[in-house]
Structure 1
Protein backbone atom coordinates (compact mmCIF):
# COMPACT_ATOMS: atom_id res chain seq x y z
CA UNK A 1 0.00 0.00 0.00
CA UNK A 2 2.89 2.32 0.82
CA UNK A 3 4.45 1.67 -2.58
CA UNK A 4 1.18 2.49 -4.36
CA UNK A 5 0.81 5.70 -2.37
CA UNK A 6 4.39 6.71 -3.17
CA UNK A 7 3.84 5.94 -6.85
CA UNK A 8 0.70 8.12 -6.96
CA UNK A 9 2.51 10.99 -5.21
CA UNK A 10 5.39 10.86 -7.68
CA UNK A 11 2.96 10.72 -10.60
CA UNK A 12 1.02 13.71 -9.24
CA UNK A 13 4.17 15.80 -8.76
CA UNK A 14 5.38 15.01 -12.26
CA UNK A 15 2.03 15.98 -13.72
CA UNK A 16 1.97 19.27 -11.82
CA UNK A 17 5.44 20.25 -12.95
CA UNK A 18 4.96 19.17 -16.57
CA UNK A 19 1.55 20.67 -17.31
CA UNK A 20 1.27 24.15 -18.78
CA UNK A 21 -0.66 26.45 -16.46
CA UNK A 22 -3.72 28.34 -17.69
CA UNK A 23 -2.12 31.57 -16.50
CA UNK A 24 0.86 30.95 -18.78
CA UNK A 25 -1.19 31.09 -21.99
CA UNK A 26 -3.80 33.82 -21.34
CA UNK A 27 -2.96 37.31 -22.64
CA UNK A 28 -3.46 40.62 -20.81
CA UNK A 29 -4.20 39.34 -17.33
CA UNK A 30 -4.85 41.67 -14.41
CA UNK A 31 -5.36 41.26 -10.69
CA UNK A 32 -9.07 42.05 -10.99
CA UNK A 33 -11.73 42.98 -13.50
CA UNK A 34 -11.58 46.54 -12.22
CA UNK A 35 -7.88 46.80 -13.00
CA UNK A 36 -8.34 45.27 -16.43
CA UNK A 37 -10.92 47.88 -17.31
CA UNK A 38 -8.84 50.82 -16.07
CA UNK A 39 -5.57 50.13 -17.91
CA UNK A 40 -4.54 53.09 -20.03
CA UNK A 41 -2.19 52.91 -23.01
CA UNK A 42 0.83 55.16 -23.14
CA UNK A 43 0.88 57.72 -25.90
CA UNK A 44 3.09 56.59 -28.77
CA UNK A 45 5.76 58.97 -29.97
CA UNK A 46 5.79 59.65 -33.73
CA UNK A 47 8.12 57.27 -35.53
CA UNK A 48 11.30 58.84 -36.88
CA UNK A 49 12.64 57.46 -40.13
CA UNK A 50 15.83 55.38 -40.08
CA UNK A 51 18.18 53.98 -42.69
CA UNK A 52 16.78 51.12 -44.80
CA UNK A 53 13.18 52.22 -44.21
CA UNK A 54 11.03 52.25 -47.33
CA UNK A 55 8.78 55.30 -47.72
CA UNK A 56 5.86 55.70 -50.08
CA UNK A 57 5.70 59.30 -51.37
CA UNK A 58 2.86 60.41 -53.64
CA UNK A 59 2.50 63.94 -55.01
CA UNK A 60 -0.88 65.21 -56.19
CA UNK A 61 -2.15 68.47 -57.69
CA UNK A 62 -5.27 69.96 -59.28
CA UNK A 63 -3.72 69.22 -62.65
CA UNK A 64 -2.27 65.74 -62.17
CA UNK A 65 -0.21 66.02 -65.36
CA UNK A 66 1.97 68.61 -63.64
CA UNK A 67 3.23 66.09 -61.10
CA UNK A 68 3.42 62.91 -63.21
CA UNK A 69 7.19 63.23 -63.42
CA UNK A 70 7.43 62.94 -59.62
CA UNK A 71 5.26 59.80 -59.40
CA UNK A 72 7.26 57.23 -61.35
CA UNK A 73 6.21 53.58 -61.22
CA UNK A 74 8.86 51.04 -62.21
CA UNK A 75 6.96 47.78 -61.72
CA UNK A 76 3.74 46.23 -62.86
CA UNK A 77 2.81 45.22 -59.32
CA UNK A 78 -0.14 46.76 -57.55
CA UNK A 79 0.91 50.03 -55.89
CA UNK A 80 -0.77 48.87 -52.67
CA UNK A 81 0.87 45.42 -52.58
CA UNK A 82 3.96 44.73 -50.47
CA UNK A 83 6.04 44.09 -53.59
CA UNK A 84 4.80 47.24 -55.32
CA UNK A 85 5.51 49.40 -52.30
CA UNK A 86 8.99 47.93 -51.93
CA UNK A 87 10.08 48.50 -55.53
CA UNK A 88 8.26 51.79 -56.15
CA UNK A 89 8.87 53.24 -52.69
CA UNK A 90 11.89 55.27 -51.65
CA UNK A 91 14.52 53.46 -49.59
CA UNK A 92 16.41 55.58 -47.06
CA UNK A 93 20.11 55.09 -47.80
CA UNK A 94 22.97 54.87 -45.31
CA UNK A 95 23.37 58.66 -45.45
CA UNK A 96 19.72 59.21 -44.50
CA UNK A 97 18.57 60.41 -47.93
CA UNK A 98 15.93 59.35 -50.44
CA UNK A 99 16.34 60.03 -54.14
CA UNK A 100 13.15 61.49 -55.64
CA UNK A 101 12.75 62.15 -59.39
CA UNK A 102 13.52 65.80 -60.27
CA UNK A 103 13.99 66.77 -56.60
CA UNK A 104 17.12 64.63 -56.26
CA UNK A 105 18.55 63.79 -52.82
CA UNK A 106 16.25 64.68 -49.92
CA UNK A 107 17.48 64.23 -46.34
CA UNK A 108 14.84 62.45 -44.25
CA UNK A 109 16.81 60.64 -41.53
CA UNK A 110 15.33 61.29 -38.08
CA UNK A 111 12.24 63.05 -39.44
CA UNK A 112 8.65 62.01 -38.83
CA UNK A 113 6.42 61.25 -41.80
CA UNK A 114 4.58 64.52 -41.28
CA UNK A 115 7.86 66.45 -41.26
CA UNK A 116 8.89 64.71 -44.50
CA UNK A 117 5.58 65.67 -46.11
CA UNK A 118 5.97 69.32 -45.11
CA UNK A 119 9.59 69.42 -46.28
CA UNK A 120 8.77 68.06 -49.74
CA UNK A 121 5.77 70.39 -50.13
CA UNK A 122 7.94 73.42 -49.29
CA UNK A 123 10.63 72.35 -51.74
CA UNK A 124 8.10 71.82 -54.53
CA UNK A 125 6.45 75.20 -53.95
CA UNK A 126 9.82 76.91 -53.71
CA UNK A 127 11.47 75.38 -56.81
CA UNK A 128 8.74 74.21 -59.20
CA UNK A 129 5.20 75.36 -58.43
CA UNK A 130 3.23 78.20 -56.91
CA UNK A 131 0.45 78.05 -54.36
CA UNK A 132 -2.20 78.02 -57.08
CA UNK A 133 -1.08 74.55 -58.14
CA UNK A 134 -2.47 73.26 -54.83
CA UNK A 135 0.24 70.66 -54.25
CA UNK A 136 -0.70 67.79 -51.96
CA UNK A 137 1.94 65.33 -50.68
CA UNK A 138 1.28 61.96 -49.03
CA UNK A 139 4.15 60.30 -47.12
CA UNK A 140 3.70 56.88 -45.54
CA UNK A 141 5.81 53.94 -44.51
CA UNK A 142 5.65 51.31 -47.25
CA UNK A 143 4.26 48.73 -44.85
CA UNK A 144 5.50 47.95 -41.35
CA UNK A 145 8.04 45.16 -41.81
CA UNK A 146 9.15 42.91 -38.93
CA UNK A 147 10.62 39.45 -38.37
CA UNK A 148 9.24 36.97 -35.86
CA UNK A 149 10.82 33.67 -34.86
CA UNK A 150 10.78 30.97 -32.22
CA UNK A 151 7.63 29.34 -30.82
CA UNK A 152 5.25 30.88 -33.33
CA UNK A 153 2.85 29.16 -35.72
CA UNK A 154 4.08 31.02 -38.81
CA UNK A 155 7.61 32.45 -38.28
CA UNK A 156 9.35 34.62 -40.82
CA UNK A 157 9.50 38.18 -42.11
CA UNK A 158 6.09 39.85 -42.31
CA UNK A 159 4.78 43.15 -43.61
CA UNK A 160 1.55 44.82 -42.48
CA UNK A 161 0.13 47.77 -44.40
CA UNK A 162 -0.49 49.90 -41.32
CA UNK A 163 1.34 52.78 -39.70
CA UNK A 164 0.78 51.46 -36.17
CA UNK A 165 0.98 47.78 -35.23
CA UNK A 166 0.90 46.38 -31.69
CA UNK A 167 2.94 43.36 -30.71
CA UNK A 168 -0.32 41.44 -30.21
CA UNK A 169 -1.37 42.26 -33.78
CA UNK A 170 2.05 41.19 -35.07
CA UNK A 171 1.75 37.86 -33.26
CA UNK A 172 -1.82 37.33 -34.46
CA UNK A 173 -0.67 38.06 -38.01
CA UNK A 174 1.83 35.21 -37.58
CA UNK A 175 -0.70 32.66 -36.37
CA UNK A 176 -0.29 33.18 -32.60
CA UNK A 177 2.23 31.77 -30.13
CA UNK A 178 2.30 27.98 -29.90
CA UNK A 179 1.21 26.27 -26.69
CA UNK A 180 4.87 25.71 -25.82
CA UNK A 181 5.84 29.36 -26.28
CA UNK A 182 6.82 31.51 -23.30
CA UNK A 183 4.39 34.43 -23.38
CA UNK A 184 5.96 35.89 -20.24
CA UNK A 185 9.36 36.54 -21.80
CA UNK A 186 9.04 37.66 -25.43
CA UNK A 187 12.18 39.36 -26.71
CA UNK A 188 12.13 42.41 -29.01
CA UNK A 189 15.37 43.36 -30.77
CA UNK A 190 15.12 46.92 -32.08
CA UNK A 191 17.41 48.88 -34.39
CA UNK A 192 17.92 52.47 -33.21
CA UNK A 193 20.11 55.30 -34.54
CA UNK A 194 22.63 54.78 -31.72
CA UNK A 195 22.69 50.97 -32.05
CA UNK A 196 20.74 47.79 -31.30
CA UNK A 197 18.72 47.35 -28.12
CA UNK A 198 16.93 44.30 -26.71
CA UNK A 199 13.81 44.27 -24.52
CA UNK A 200 11.68 41.63 -22.84
CA UNK A 201 7.88 41.92 -22.54
CA UNK A 202 5.26 39.90 -20.69
CA UNK A 203 2.22 39.32 -22.93
CA UNK A 204 0.23 37.73 -20.10
CA UNK A 205 0.18 40.99 -18.12
CA UNK A 206 -2.24 43.81 -18.87
CA UNK A 207 0.58 46.19 -17.91
CA UNK A 208 2.01 45.72 -21.40
CA UNK A 209 -0.63 48.19 -22.63
CA UNK A 210 1.36 50.87 -20.81
CA UNK A 211 4.69 49.69 -22.16
CA UNK A 212 6.58 51.79 -24.74
CA UNK A 213 7.18 48.50 -26.58
CA UNK A 214 3.49 47.69 -26.98
CA UNK A 215 3.74 49.13 -30.50
CA UNK A 216 6.41 47.56 -32.67
CA UNK A 217 8.60 49.56 -35.04
CA UNK A 218 9.83 48.84 -38.57
CA UNK A 219 12.55 46.17 -38.74
CA UNK A 220 11.87 44.87 -35.22
CA UNK A 221 12.93 41.26 -34.54
CA UNK A 222 10.57 39.38 -32.21
CA UNK A 223 11.66 36.12 -30.58
CA UNK A 224 9.32 33.84 -28.62
CA UNK A 225 11.25 31.55 -26.29
CA UNK A 226 10.15 27.95 -25.56
CA UNK A 227 8.95 27.07 -22.08
CA UNK A 228 10.85 24.55 -19.98
CA UNK A 229 8.20 21.84 -20.46
CA UNK A 230 9.14 21.58 -24.13
CA UNK A 231 12.75 20.69 -23.37
CA UNK A 232 11.56 18.13 -20.80
CA UNK A 233 9.70 16.28 -23.56
CA UNK A 234 6.31 16.15 -21.82
CA UNK A 235 2.96 16.75 -23.53
CA UNK A 236 1.38 20.13 -24.08
CA UNK A 237 -1.64 19.40 -21.90
CA UNK A 238 -2.56 17.34 -18.85
CA UNK A 239 -3.79 14.29 -20.78
CA UNK A 240 -0.68 14.13 -22.98
CA UNK A 241 1.60 14.56 -19.98
CA UNK A 242 -0.26 11.85 -18.06
CA UNK A 243 -0.05 9.46 -21.02
CA UNK A 244 3.67 10.14 -21.51
CA UNK A 245 4.52 9.70 -17.83
CA UNK A 246 2.32 6.61 -17.45
CA UNK A 247 3.92 5.01 -20.51
CA UNK A 248 7.41 5.72 -19.17
CA UNK A 249 6.58 4.34 -15.72
CA UNK A 250 4.92 1.27 -17.24
CA UNK A 251 8.07 0.60 -19.26
CA UNK A 252 10.27 0.98 -16.18
CA UNK A 253 8.09 -1.32 -14.06
CA UNK A 254 7.83 -3.92 -16.81
CA UNK A 255 11.62 -3.89 -17.31
CA UNK A 256 12.16 -4.22 -13.57
CA UNK A 257 9.79 -7.19 -13.28
CA UNK A 258 11.38 -8.96 -16.25
CA UNK A 259 14.88 -8.52 -14.82
CA UNK A 260 13.88 -9.79 -11.36
CA UNK A 261 11.71 -12.60 -12.63
Structure 2
Protein backbone atom coordinates (compact mmCIF):
# COMPACT_ATOMS: atom_id res chain seq x y z
CA UNK A 1 0.00 0.00 0.00
CA UNK A 2 1.46 3.32 -1.06
CA UNK A 3 1.88 6.22 1.35
CA UNK A 4 -0.86 8.16 -0.44
CA UNK A 5 -3.33 5.28 -0.09
CA UNK A 6 -2.41 4.90 3.58
CA UNK A 7 -3.13 8.58 4.22
CA UNK A 8 -6.42 8.31 2.38
CA UNK A 9 -7.43 5.20 4.33
CA UNK A 10 -6.41 6.81 7.63
CA UNK A 11 -8.40 9.96 6.82
CA UNK A 12 -11.49 7.92 5.96
CA UNK A 13 -11.17 5.93 9.19
CA UNK A 14 -10.92 9.09 11.28
CA UNK A 15 -13.94 10.61 9.54
CA UNK A 16 -15.93 7.41 10.08
CA UNK A 17 -15.01 7.38 13.76
CA UNK A 18 -15.99 11.02 14.19
CA UNK A 19 -19.30 10.42 12.43
CA UNK A 20 -19.94 7.44 14.70
CA UNK A 21 -19.20 9.47 17.82
CA UNK A 22 -21.42 12.31 16.62
CA UNK A 23 -24.19 9.89 15.74
CA UNK A 24 -24.04 8.20 19.15
CA UNK A 25 -24.01 11.57 20.88
CA UNK A 26 -27.03 12.76 18.91
CA UNK A 27 -28.87 9.51 19.58
CA UNK A 28 -28.19 9.64 23.32
CA UNK A 29 -29.29 13.26 23.63
CA UNK A 30 -32.65 12.30 22.08
CA UNK A 31 -33.47 9.70 24.74
CA UNK A 32 -35.71 10.24 27.76
CA UNK A 33 -35.03 8.93 31.27
CA UNK A 34 -31.56 7.49 30.81
CA UNK A 35 -29.79 5.48 33.53
CA UNK A 36 -33.08 3.90 34.57
CA UNK A 37 -31.20 0.95 36.10
CA UNK A 38 -29.59 3.18 38.73
CA UNK A 39 -32.93 4.79 39.49
CA UNK A 40 -34.68 1.43 39.91
CA UNK A 41 -32.03 0.24 42.35
CA UNK A 42 -32.92 3.01 44.82
CA UNK A 43 -36.38 4.38 43.98
CA UNK A 44 -37.96 7.06 46.13
CA UNK A 45 -41.71 6.93 46.46
CA UNK A 46 -43.49 10.22 45.93
CA UNK A 47 -47.21 10.75 46.22
CA UNK A 48 -48.67 13.81 44.60
CA UNK A 49 -51.84 15.58 45.69
CA UNK A 50 -53.51 18.35 43.74
CA UNK A 51 -53.85 21.50 45.86
CA UNK A 52 -56.51 24.14 45.31
CA UNK A 53 -55.10 27.58 44.42
CA UNK A 54 -56.49 31.06 43.71
CA UNK A 55 -58.12 31.34 40.27
CA UNK A 56 -59.15 27.69 40.32
CA UNK A 57 -62.77 27.00 39.47
CA UNK A 58 -64.44 24.33 41.58
CA UNK A 59 -67.54 22.28 40.94
CA UNK A 60 -69.03 21.38 44.33
CA UNK A 61 -71.96 18.96 44.55
CA UNK A 62 -73.87 18.45 47.81
CA UNK A 63 -76.42 15.66 47.98
CA UNK A 64 -78.55 13.91 50.60
CA UNK A 65 -81.30 11.32 50.63
CA UNK A 66 -83.73 14.24 50.67
CA UNK A 67 -83.04 16.37 47.55
CA UNK A 68 -85.04 19.29 48.92
CA UNK A 69 -82.86 19.48 52.02
CA UNK A 70 -79.62 19.76 50.02
CA UNK A 71 -81.09 22.00 47.28
CA UNK A 72 -80.03 25.29 48.96
CA UNK A 73 -76.37 24.19 48.73
CA UNK A 74 -76.35 23.37 45.02
CA UNK A 75 -76.15 26.33 42.65
CA UNK A 76 -76.79 25.89 38.94
CA UNK A 77 -76.53 28.12 35.91
CA UNK A 78 -79.66 30.26 35.69
CA UNK A 79 -80.28 30.04 39.42
CA UNK A 80 -80.11 33.07 41.69
CA UNK A 81 -77.57 33.38 44.48
CA UNK A 82 -80.37 32.97 47.01
CA UNK A 83 -80.95 29.54 45.42
CA UNK A 84 -84.67 29.45 44.91
CA UNK A 85 -84.92 25.94 43.47
CA UNK A 86 -88.45 26.42 42.21
CA UNK A 87 -87.24 27.59 38.79
CA UNK A 88 -88.63 25.34 36.06
CA UNK A 89 -86.15 22.74 34.82
CA UNK A 90 -83.38 23.92 37.12
CA UNK A 91 -82.58 20.34 38.21
CA UNK A 92 -81.38 19.61 34.68
CA UNK A 93 -79.24 22.76 34.37
CA UNK A 94 -75.45 22.67 34.50
CA UNK A 95 -73.72 23.24 37.81
CA UNK A 96 -72.19 26.65 38.35
CA UNK A 97 -68.51 26.73 39.28
CA UNK A 98 -67.06 28.57 42.25
CA UNK A 99 -64.04 30.75 41.45
CA UNK A 100 -61.38 30.80 44.15
CA UNK A 101 -60.46 34.45 44.82
CA UNK A 102 -57.00 35.87 45.51
CA UNK A 103 -57.50 35.22 49.24
CA UNK A 104 -58.15 31.55 48.57
CA UNK A 105 -61.88 31.72 49.36
CA UNK A 106 -65.14 30.94 47.57
CA UNK A 107 -68.59 32.43 48.18
CA UNK A 108 -70.71 29.38 48.99
CA UNK A 109 -74.50 29.46 49.37
CA UNK A 110 -75.71 29.87 52.96
CA UNK A 111 -72.19 29.41 54.39
CA UNK A 112 -70.76 32.58 52.86
CA UNK A 113 -67.01 32.94 52.33
CA UNK A 114 -65.15 29.66 52.87
CA UNK A 115 -61.35 29.34 52.62
CA UNK A 116 -60.32 26.40 50.43
CA UNK A 117 -56.87 27.33 49.10
CA UNK A 118 -54.13 24.84 49.95
CA UNK A 119 -56.53 21.93 50.43
CA UNK A 120 -56.70 18.80 48.34
CA UNK A 121 -60.10 18.08 46.82
CA UNK A 122 -60.65 15.30 49.38
CA UNK A 123 -59.77 17.63 52.26
CA UNK A 124 -62.14 20.22 50.81
CA UNK A 125 -64.95 17.65 50.70
CA UNK A 126 -64.39 16.72 54.35
CA UNK A 127 -64.29 20.40 55.30
CA UNK A 128 -67.66 21.08 53.68
CA UNK A 129 -69.24 18.03 55.26
CA UNK A 130 -68.33 19.44 58.68
CA UNK A 131 -69.56 22.94 57.80
CA UNK A 132 -72.91 21.62 56.53
CA UNK A 133 -73.68 19.34 59.48
CA UNK A 134 -75.58 22.02 61.46
CA UNK A 135 -77.89 22.66 58.48
CA UNK A 136 -78.81 19.07 57.64
CA UNK A 137 -80.28 16.08 59.45
CA UNK A 138 -77.70 13.75 57.94
CA UNK A 139 -74.07 13.90 56.86
CA UNK A 140 -74.18 15.01 53.22
CA UNK A 141 -72.28 13.51 50.33
CA UNK A 142 -69.91 16.19 48.99
CA UNK A 143 -67.80 15.95 45.83
CA UNK A 144 -65.29 18.59 44.72
CA UNK A 145 -63.67 18.77 41.28
CA UNK A 146 -61.83 21.41 39.28
CA UNK A 147 -63.26 22.59 35.98
CA UNK A 148 -60.43 24.78 34.66
CA UNK A 149 -57.28 22.64 35.00
CA UNK A 150 -55.15 23.80 32.09
CA UNK A 151 -51.49 24.15 31.10
CA UNK A 152 -49.49 25.36 28.10
CA UNK A 153 -46.69 23.72 26.12
CA UNK A 154 -44.55 25.93 23.89
CA UNK A 155 -41.49 25.56 21.69
CA UNK A 156 -40.12 22.56 19.82
CA UNK A 157 -43.06 20.15 20.17
CA UNK A 158 -45.50 18.64 17.71
CA UNK A 159 -48.54 20.71 18.66
CA UNK A 160 -47.77 23.77 20.82
CA UNK A 161 -50.79 25.20 22.61
CA UNK A 162 -52.88 25.37 25.77
CA UNK A 163 -54.48 22.15 26.95
CA UNK A 164 -57.07 21.28 29.57
CA UNK A 165 -57.49 18.05 31.47
CA UNK A 166 -59.97 16.42 33.80
CA UNK A 167 -57.10 14.58 35.43
CA UNK A 168 -55.78 16.38 38.52
CA UNK A 169 -52.56 14.34 38.49
CA UNK A 170 -50.51 14.74 35.32
CA UNK A 171 -46.78 14.28 34.74
CA UNK A 172 -44.64 16.45 32.50
CA UNK A 173 -44.36 13.51 30.07
CA UNK A 174 -48.14 13.23 29.82
CA UNK A 175 -48.36 16.96 29.16
CA UNK A 176 -45.76 16.68 26.38
CA UNK A 177 -47.60 13.69 24.93
CA UNK A 178 -50.77 15.77 24.62
CA UNK A 179 -48.72 18.41 22.80
CA UNK A 180 -47.47 15.86 20.24
CA UNK A 181 -44.21 15.07 22.07
CA UNK A 182 -40.84 16.74 21.52
CA UNK A 183 -39.36 16.73 18.05
CA UNK A 184 -35.88 15.37 17.26
CA UNK A 185 -34.67 18.99 17.33
CA UNK A 186 -35.61 19.50 20.99
CA UNK A 187 -33.25 20.15 23.89
CA UNK A 188 -34.31 17.48 26.39
CA UNK A 189 -31.90 18.26 29.22
CA UNK A 190 -32.93 21.91 29.64
CA UNK A 191 -36.72 22.06 29.57
CA UNK A 192 -38.12 25.11 31.33
CA UNK A 193 -41.23 25.08 33.49
CA UNK A 194 -42.82 28.35 34.60
CA UNK A 195 -45.06 28.08 37.66
CA UNK A 196 -47.09 30.56 39.67
CA UNK A 197 -47.57 29.85 43.36
CA UNK A 198 -50.53 30.71 45.61
CA UNK A 199 -49.13 34.19 46.25
CA UNK A 200 -48.86 35.03 42.55
CA UNK A 201 -45.06 34.72 42.43
CA UNK A 202 -43.75 33.22 39.18
CA UNK A 203 -40.61 31.13 38.98
CA UNK A 204 -38.86 29.19 36.22
CA UNK A 205 -37.46 25.72 36.91
CA UNK A 206 -35.15 23.64 34.72
CA UNK A 207 -35.94 19.99 34.05
CA UNK A 208 -33.54 17.39 32.66
CA UNK A 209 -35.79 14.84 30.99
CA UNK A 210 -32.85 12.69 29.92
CA UNK A 211 -32.34 11.55 33.54
CA UNK A 212 -34.48 8.84 35.10
CA UNK A 213 -34.47 10.57 38.47
CA UNK A 214 -36.68 13.31 36.99
CA UNK A 215 -39.47 11.17 38.48
CA UNK A 216 -38.28 12.29 41.94
CA UNK A 217 -38.39 15.98 41.06
CA UNK A 218 -41.02 18.13 42.82
CA UNK A 219 -41.84 19.45 39.33
CA UNK A 220 -42.41 16.05 37.74
CA UNK A 221 -46.15 16.52 38.28
CA UNK A 222 -47.42 19.69 36.69
CA UNK A 223 -49.87 22.06 38.30
CA UNK A 224 -52.72 24.08 36.86
CA UNK A 225 -51.57 27.02 34.70
CA UNK A 226 -48.01 25.68 34.35
CA UNK A 227 -46.15 26.70 31.18
CA UNK A 228 -43.66 24.21 29.69
CA UNK A 229 -41.12 25.58 27.21
CA UNK A 230 -39.04 23.22 25.06
CA UNK A 231 -35.96 24.82 23.51
CA UNK A 232 -34.85 24.02 19.95
CA UNK A 233 -31.35 22.65 19.34
CA UNK A 234 -28.68 24.94 17.88
CA UNK A 235 -28.75 22.82 14.70
CA UNK A 236 -32.45 23.62 14.24
CA UNK A 237 -31.85 27.34 14.76
CA UNK A 238 -28.90 27.32 12.33
CA UNK A 239 -30.98 25.42 9.79
CA UNK A 240 -33.84 27.91 9.99
CA UNK A 241 -31.43 30.84 9.80
CA UNK A 242 -29.69 29.33 6.77
CA UNK A 243 -33.00 28.70 5.00
CA UNK A 244 -34.15 32.25 5.72
CA UNK A 245 -30.89 33.80 4.53
CA UNK A 246 -30.76 31.55 1.47
CA UNK A 247 -34.27 32.59 0.47
CA UNK A 248 -33.34 36.24 0.92
CA UNK A 249 -30.19 35.96 -1.19
CA UNK A 250 -31.99 34.01 -3.91
CA UNK A 251 -34.60 36.77 -4.07
CA UNK A 252 -31.91 39.46 -4.25
CA UNK A 253 -29.98 37.52 -6.90
CA UNK A 254 -33.13 37.08 -8.99
CA UNK A 255 -33.86 40.80 -8.72
CA UNK A 256 -30.31 41.75 -9.71
CA UNK A 257 -30.41 39.32 -12.64
CA UNK A 258 -33.72 40.74 -13.85
CA UNK A 259 -32.46 44.33 -13.57
CA UNK A 260 -29.20 43.44 -15.35
CA UNK A 261 -31.09 41.73 -18.17
CA UNK A 262 -33.35 44.76 -18.55
CA UNK A 263 -30.41 47.17 -18.60
CA UNK A 264 -28.55 45.10 -21.21
CA UNK A 265 -31.69 44.94 -23.36
CA UNK A 266 -32.16 48.73 -23.20
CA UNK A 267 -28.54 49.50 -24.13
CA UNK A 268 -28.59 47.36 -27.28
TM range (shorter): 0.7 to 0.9
Partner of 2:218: 212
TM-score, normalized by length of structure 2? 0.70
CA contact (8 A) 1:56 1:89 kept: yes
The alpha-carbon deviation at position 20 of structure 1 amounts to 7.1
CA contact (8 A) 2:151 2:226 kept: yes
The alpha-carbon deviation at position 157 of structure 1 amounts to 1.1
The alpha-carbon deviation at position 47 of structure 1 amounts to 3.5
The structure-2 alpha-carbon separation of the partners of 1:41 and 1:164, relative to structure 1 and needing over 3 Å to count, comes to: farther
CA contact (8 A) 1:42 1:209 kept: no
CA contact (8 A) 1:56 1:88 kept: yes
1:21 match: secondary structure: helix
Partner of 1:189: 194
Distance between the aligned counterparts of 1:58 and 1:13, measured in 2? 64
2:222 match: secondary structure: coil
Query: RMSD value over aligned CA atoms?
Result: 3.0
CA radius of gyration, larger in: 2
Q: Deviations over 1:121-158 (max 9, x none)?
A: 122112x113xx23111112225311111111111111
The structure-2 alpha-carbon separation of the partners of 1:34 and 1:45, relative to structure 1 and needing over 3 Å to count, comes to: closer
User: Which moved further from structure 2: 139-148 or 37-46?
Assistant: 37-46
**Correspondent of 2:40 among 19, 28, 37:** 37
Larger relative contact order (C-alpha < 8 A, sep ≥ 6)? Answer: 1
Distance between the aligned counterparts of 1:228 and 1:5, measured in 2? 32
Partner of 1:103: 111
Structure 2 unmatched runs, 5+: 79-93, 241-268
The alpha-carbon deviation at position 233 of structure 1 amounts to 1.1
**Correspondent of 1:145 among 140, 143, 150:** 150
The alpha-carbon deviation at position 193 of structure 1 amounts to 2.8
**Correspondent of 1:129 among 136, 140, 147:** 136
The structure-2 alpha-carbon separation of the partners of 1:182 and 1:69, relative to structure 1 and needing over 3 Å to count, comes to: same
Q: Deviations over 1:195-253 (max 9, x none)?
A: 1121111111101011111111111111101111111218xxxxxxxxxxxxxxxxxxx
The alpha-carbon deviation at position 39 of structure 1 amounts to 5.3
The structure-2 alpha-carbon separation of the partners of 1:15 and 1:150, relative to structure 1 and needing over 3 Å to count, comes to: farther
TM-score, normalized by length of structure 1? 0.72
Residue correspondence of structure 1 range 84-99 to structure 2 within 5 A: 88-99=96-107
Distance between the aligned counterparts of 2:70 and 2:196, measured in 1? 35
CA contact (8 A) 1:145 1:218 kept: yes
**Correspondent of 2:31 among 26, 32, 36:** 26
Distance between the aligned counterparts of 1:220 and 1:138, measured in 2? 25
The size of the alignment, in residue pairs, is 219
User: Which moved further from structure 2: 3-12 or 183-192?
Assistant: 3-12
Structure 1 unmatched runs, 5+: 76-83, 235-261
